[in-house]
Amino acid sequence: MEEQEKINAAFEDLMNSLRGETTEENRQLIRVAFQFADEAHRGVKRASGEPYIMHPIAVAKIASVEIGLGTKSVVAALLHDVVEDADYTVEDIEKLFGPKIASLVDGLTKIDGVMGANTTEQAENFRKIILALADDVRVILIKIADRLHNMRTLDSLSERRQVKMAGETLYIYAPLAHRMGLHAIKSELEDLSLKYENPEEYKLLQGRIQRYRHDNADFFQRFIAPIRSRLEESGYKFEIAARTKSVYSVWLKMQRQNVTFDEIFDILAVRVIFDPKDDQPEKWQCWHIYSLITDLYTPKQERIRDWVSLPKSNGYEALHVTVMGPGGGWIEVQIRTTRMDDIDEKGLAAHWKYKKEDSDPISELDKWLINIKEMLEQTDSGALELLDDFKLNLFAKEIQVFTPKGDMKTLPKGATVLDFAYEIHTELGDTCIGAKVNHKLEPVSHVLRNGDQVEVLTSDTQTPRGEWRHFIVTSKARHHIVAAFRKERKEQVRQGMLIFEDLTRKMNLPSTQEVLDKALSHLHLGDKEELYLGLFKQQIPAEELRKALRRKSENKFMRYWKLQFFKGDKERATPVAPDDASREQEQAEIPDFIIAPDCSPIPGDDVVALKMDDGEIIVHKRKCPEAIRLMARHGDRIVPVRWVSHRIMSFLAVIRLSGIDTIGIVSEITRVISKESSVNMRSVHFDTKDGIFEGTIHLYVHNTADLNNLMMRITSLSGVEQVARVENMDV
């Protein structure tokens, strides 16, 4: 009885949070949906032990309150797991709740099936689902709400499932939330992913950000006091709030720019949200407030961002300016109306609420949905390639460029002349030989900048080229270029495979994956198609391949590295929630593994392992970008792993140093290294310029503890300003 009271209380909380304009008829429809779902999930528990119906109720509340969706979406959220987990069909849902709600539930059921399965075997199904998403974007929004609640309640799952869901969320769902304009949800999904992938770093950064906010509270009040006075004098109704960067965004900036927490200067920002006056345009009022603020504080010209005149493609509107605050620190100020703030928080749903259908032109977000549908209807690529195409369309940073006639095109940051040509028309891209960018002749690979005006140049004799794929960034360009080469390449690969099989037959070798992997490894090739094409084009001589196949394979790490693996959790065969898993883990020593060369983990690094098709286990650093991508795609292959011991063997690591070029500084650094019995140098390189030195040292170390100890000793030397380990570097 207590359990049912808890369920009823959660549902009443949902009902109280519905939009004010929800009619009594719609409220009754939601009650019927709840009663139906409650009965369907009766007796089923989540991994946490709570009744499963609590999950659909929570998803419905997120959809209503945090995204701002209406009655049909709330009903679909309540019913989203009924077809998958109970003895009901989509037809049953349609009879009770109508075709639109049934269509939403069907889309949600199908996408659950694909994201939980082996994606490589689900190409056609995955394509159909995303096409359905483009038809009704509410499926995307409800699915994001579903993923958000699952991430909020991830503690009760096994480590393997946690890592799998975190990687998948970071790879697909956080960018998807960004594209839908759900800034708050996107940030929370990123933070939760980091929390489960790198728990120690997450906890450390979260504490530092909280302390930073507390320590700067007085500074914030001193900064906003004169702004508040000016806005009140001008008759604005407003609120001013402090915004700190999310834990994930701080972590990502530290990783990408190789900087410390103390070197990040935009952790704190000020947000001015105001109610616009009826007699003046919103854009004018934003610039008026900008003028009031810059009368008080000096602006940094290169840090002005005008997304009021040109909103982002996900609907984001605001005016950003960075000013010099009291005490000599730069502070970012974000100026927006209450409407703009609502769109930033609730994204697409709020955008539609404010959109006037008869007067507003098609938005960039609408264009994105149309492009997604066109791309998926035309493509014949596999599921993994399709997933990458879809991911490319979730680009975060954008630029606006213009045609000779002044038409604006939105492209991802880093887009080239060729991307622009394909954005206008496929034929223009296929025949592009260059462009005039701001009246200056540039090649097809030229990277465009915000505000460029581009005139594409073509030739009737031009056709797509293979090297084009190395510098295009949009999925539209990639799709058309790949399509142009796929047929020709397929035949070349087939011929190359026949050459390979003929050669191995003459060498009396079996046609197995092991033989193929040996050839790829010794020839330093990425995949079998590269090998087959090299053989067909005679870029790989037959004798070179014979030598590679005769070499003895040896994994030099196997004798010295010792890892503890956990066998995968066995799923329960009882009708419990989809994410429930056994908590029992069985430990086993597995000696056959490979260290990923792209991130080269050493003992002490936080690592994760993935079991590949041939049975080999690849060990990556947990934060390696390639590992994150693989975990999102192949969550069922994750093997949680940790170091348990290592023997006396050294592993290569690289550190980068900088500081003041004083006399004897290099000798001091090398002397400190030489004194460390557990560390040896392979190579040392230093450059000096204008009294500043920069150096790179390749070292052999036993583990991360030895490396960190050495870096601390070097940092303590007078003149040394910064010492950092170089991550993901081919050494």
- Average pLDDT rounded to a whole number, residues 4-8: 89
Q: Assign 518 a pLDDT band (cuts: 50, 70, 90).
A: confident
Question: In the prediction, which pLDDT does 390 show?
Answer: 57
Which of 258, 250, 414 is CA-nearest to residue 729?
Answer: 258
Contact 182, 173 (CB under 8 A): no
Beta carbons of 231 and 225 less than 8 angstroms apart: no
Q: Considering only residues 352 and 47, tell me which one the structure prediction assigns the higher pLDDT.
A: 47
Poorest-confidence range of 14-18, 85-89, 547-551, 568-572? 568-572
Give the least confident one: 529-538, 546-555, 654-663.
546-555
SS3 619: strand
Longest dimension (CA), the chain: 90
**Percent of all residues in the chain with a pLDDT value above 90, rounded to a whole number:** 23
Between 1.20.58.390, 3.50.50.60, 3.10.20.30, 2.30.130.10, what CATH number should domain 364-469 receive?
3.10.20.30
Residue predicted with more confidence, 221 or 257:
221
**What band does 28 get if pLDDT is binned at 50, 70 and 90?**
very high
Model confidence at 730: pLDDT above 50: no
The 10s digit of each residue's pLDDT in 201-216 is 999 999 999 999 888 8
Kindly give the pairing relationship between strand 617-621 and strand 593-595: parallel
> How does DSSP assign 213-273, residue by residue?
HHHTHHHHHHHHHHHHHHHHHTT-EEEEEEEEPPHHHHHHHHHHHT--GGG---SEEEEEE
CA atoms within 13 A on the CB side of 220: 19
CATH superfamily entry for domain 2-200:
Hypothetical protein af1432 (1.10.3210.10)
Domain boundaries, the chain: 2-200, 201-354, 364-469, 483-539, 561-646, 651-725
Is the pLDDT at 676 greater than 80, yes or no? Answer: no
Same fold, 2-200 and 201-354: no
Of the spans 191-200, 306-315, 390-399, 536-545, which averages the highest pLDDT? 191-200
Answer yes or no: is pLDDT of 108 > 70: yes
At residue 576, the pLDDT reads 31
| Higher-confidence position of 414 and 359 | 414
What is the mean pLDDT of the segment spanning 653-682? Answer: 80
The pLDDT score that the predictor gives to residue 192 is 95
The pLDDT, as a whole number, for residue 731 is 38
Exposed/middle/buried for 97, CB within 10 Å: 0-12, 13-18, 19+?
Answer: buried
Structural fold of domain 201-354:
Beta Polymerase; domain 2 (3.30.460)
Burial profile 665-701: b = 16 or more Cβ within 10 angstroms, e = fewer: bbebbeebbeebeebeeeeeeeeeeeeebebbbbbeb
Q: What is the mean pLDDT of the chain?
A: 79
SS3 333: strand
Confidence of residue 4 (pLDDT cuts 50, 70, 90): confident
**Positions marked active-site:** 84-85
Strands 651-660 and 617-621: unpaired
pLDDT of residue 134: 54
Query: pLDDT band for position 298 (50/70/90)?
Result: very high
Q: How far is 176 from 180, CA to CA, in rounded Å?
A: 6
Sign of CA dihedral 635, 636, 642, 648: negative
Mean of pLDDT values over 439-464: 89
For the segment 437-449, the average pLDDT, to the nearest whole number, is: 90
Q: Which of 260-264, 308-312, 416-420, 717-721 has the highest mean pLDDT?
A: 416-420
Residues 6 or more apart whose Cβ sits within 8 Å of residue 647: 560, 562
Give yes or no for residue 510 having a pLDDT over 60.
Answer: yes
Cα(146)–Cα(135) distance, rounded to whole angstroms? 19
Distance between CA atoms of residues 270 and 222, nearest Å: 12
Note the pLDDT of residue 388.
54
DSSP code at position 398: E
> Residue 492 and residue 502: Cα distance in Å, rounded?
15
Strand partners, 334: 271, 320
Find the range with the poorest average confidence among 55-59, 348-352, 445-449, 681-685. Answer: 348-352
What is the predicted pLDDT for the residue at 581? 35
**Residues 430-450: what's their mean pLDDT?**
90
Class of domain 651-725: alpha beta
Determine which of 14-18, 345-349, 477-481, 651-655 has the lowest per-residue pLDDT on average: 345-349
d(CA 287, CA 294) in angstroms, rounded, equals 10
Helix (H, G, I), strand (E, B) or coil at 642: strand
**pLDDT value, residue 561:** 44
Buried b (16+ CB within 10 A) or exposed e, 328-366: eeebbbbbbbebbbbbbbbbbbbbbeeeeeeeeeebbbb
